[in-house]
C-alpha cells in the first residue's frame, strides 16, 4: 500500500526560459511565472521516482504517445503513457523520462514547442527542467527545521560480579 503525494510546481524549461503549460490537449513551454496553466500538480507514489503530471487548471495529464509526441489526456484515462520517471541530473536539473518508452524524454525547443521523445537525450539542454513553486505557494521558511536524531541501540551492561 502506498500513499500518493501531490505537490504543486511549475516546471521551468532551461531552453525556452519559460514554464511548461498543459493547455488541454496541447502542451507548450511558453508560460510566464505564475500563469494559471503553468501550475502543475505532480503526483508521486511514496516509493520510487515515478510521477504523473497534471495541469491544475485543465485537469489534463501530460502524456507521451507511441510516436513520442507530448499530448494532454483526460484524468479518466489512467494510461501508462502518462507516467514519467523523474531523474535528478548532475547539474541539479530534472529530466523526465517516459516510464513506458525507456530513453524518451520530455523536451522543448527554444521557442517552447515540444520535441518528440525519440529525438531527445538526457544530456541535451532541451530536457532539463527546474521545479519551482508558484508565487504565493512557497513553503514557510521562517519555522525552524525540526529533525530527530536516531541513536544506536545501547548495549546492555552486564553486572561484573562473581558468577
User: 103-114 pLDDT, tens per residue?
Assistant: 999 999 999 999
What per-residue confidence (pLDDT) applies to 151?
Answer: 59
> Does residue 48 sit within a domain?
yes
> Does residue 113 sit within a domain?
yes
> Does residue 158 sit within a domain?
no
What per-residue confidence (pLDDT) applies to 94?
Answer: 93
- Tell me: pLDDT of 149 over 80: no
What pTM, to 2 d.p., does this model score?
A: 0.79
What per-residue confidence (pLDDT) applies to 48?
Answer: 65
Give dist(CA 127, CA 96) in Å, integer.
7
Instruction: Report the domain count for the chain.
Output: 1
Beta bridge partner(s), residue 154? none
> Does residue 107 sit within a domain?
yes
> Does residue 140 sit within a domain?
no
> Does residue 154 sit within a domain?
no
User: Which domain does 55 fall in, by range?
Assistant: 5-132
pLDDT category of residue 1 using cuts at 50, 70 and 90: very low
Give dist(CA 123, CA 127) in Å, integer.
8
> Does residue 142 sit within a domain?
no
Determine phi and psi for 119, rounding to 5 degrees: -95, 15
What per-residue confidence (pLDDT) applies to 6?
Answer: 84
Report the CATH number that the domain containing residue 33 is assigned in CATH: 2.80.10.50
What per-residue confidence (pLDDT) applies to 21?
Answer: 94
> Does residue 155 sit within a domain?
no
Amino acid at each position: 500500500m502506498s500513499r500518493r503525494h501531490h505537490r504543486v510546481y511549475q516546471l521551468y524549461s532551461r531552453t525556452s526560459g519559460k514554464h511548461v503549460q498543459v493547455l488541454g490537449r496541447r502542451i507548450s513551454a511558453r508560460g510566464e511565472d505564475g500563469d494559471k496553466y503553468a501550475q502543475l500538480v505532480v503526483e508521486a507514489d511514496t516509493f520510487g521516482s515515478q510521477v504523473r503530471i497534471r495541469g491544475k487548471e485543465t485537469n489534463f495529464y501530460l502524456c507521451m504517445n507511441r510516436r513520442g509526441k507530448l499530448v494532454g489526456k483526460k484524468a479518466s484515462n489512467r494510461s501508462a503513457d502518462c507516467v514519467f520517471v523523474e531523474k535528478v541530473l548532475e547539474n541539479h536539473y530534472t529530466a523526465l523520462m517516459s516510464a513506458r518508452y525507456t530513453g524518451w524524454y520530455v523536451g522543448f525547443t527554444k521557442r517552447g514547442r515540444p520535441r518528440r521523445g525519440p529525438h531527445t537525450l538526457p544530456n541535451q539542454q532541451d530536457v532539463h527542467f527546474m521545479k519551482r513553486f508558484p508565487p504565493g505557494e512557497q513553503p514557510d521558511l521562517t519555522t525552524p527545521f525540526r529533525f530527530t536524531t536516531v541513536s544506536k541501540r545501547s548495549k546492555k551492561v552486564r553486572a561484573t560480579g562473581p558468577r
